Copies of this chain bind each other. A is one copy, B any other.
């Protein structure tokens, strides 16, 4: 298997897009393949910029991502976009429109666009995304943009483990911003107030800046830019803010810190994913224990203890 995977990675690195897409699918769906690919990628240490793009629905995330891709392509970079699909059935409606907006890059061989689903097994997305990023970087995509379509915690977690996290807001979200300021300010390195041609954009920018001014920033103080992504306005400023943050990451040593944090989250997600997968293998015992809880013979904690023991015993036998 390892030789085949190695050959597939070679082809993907040589620019074979379908091979790259197949490898991404394998990482997403096949834990054993993900493991092999991850081992093979050890020889290509990841290098490049990882940008997270997040924000509430309707704020123009895909339009902004698309404009940013154009800006980076104009500089000669190869760019990959990972769009994290919503984990909520209520936000599914935005999806089709988003993909259509990214179509302008569809024929560019130096742009790779891919959706990843947040639904499914616990730890799945958090475990798979870093391996996909490593693969993309090994294939020469020096910029990887992770765009979250959904607003669930898992999607935001992924955006916020990027080197630089861009949070998009739109005018007229003032109240929400006030209420949620702690959460949002924690996440963003760069804030872009998009749709800046609309009423209230100045107020949103001002409020955001005063909220940031109140913070006690020992390191990087978040930047605020205004954009009208649909017309490309403010995109050079956004690009510059990202570059400034990137320079700070290098100087401050924070780049290494973020990479470590990312690795820790990945390892944790892999362990959780293994445990979650083990429930399927121990299905009979799991059902027997749940029956006992249903009958009132034991409580759920006792069942959980017994289940942990069983999973761990099974893992020991395998070794």
Contacts and interface: CB of A to CB of B under 8 A. Distances in A.
A266 interface: yes
12 contacts: A45-B296, A87-B153, A89-B187, A131-B300, A152-B153, A260-B290, A264-B287, A267-B293, A271-B304, A271-B311, A272-B272, A272-B275
Given A92-B183, A93-B180, A308 B299 contact: no
A307 interface: yes
Interface in A27-67: 34-35, 38-39, 41-42, 45, 55-56
Interface string A86-119: 0111111101100000000000000000000011
Nearest to A184: B89
B315 A88 contact: no
A156 B87 CA distance: 10
Contacts of A150: 152
Interface residues of A, number: 79
A301 interface: yes
Interface of A: 34-35, 38-39, 41-42, 45, 55-56, 87-93, 95-96, 118-119, 122-123, 130-131, 150-154, 156, 175-180, 182-184, 186-187, 256, 259-260, 263-264, 266-268, 270-272, 274-276, 279, 286-287, 289-291, 293-294, 296, 298-304, 307-309, 311-312, 315-316, 319
Contacts of A256: 294
Contact of A296 (B42, B268, B271): B42
A127 to B, nearest CB: 8
B301 A92 contact: no
| Integer count of this chain's copies in the complex | 2
A307 B267 contact: yes
Nearest to A89: B183
Nearest to A269: B304
A267 B296 contact: no
B176 A93 contact: yes
Nearest to A292: B263
Contacts of A276: 268, 272
Nearest to A304: B270
A291 B261 CA distance: 10
Given A179-B92, A275-B272, A309-B315, A266 B300 contact: yes
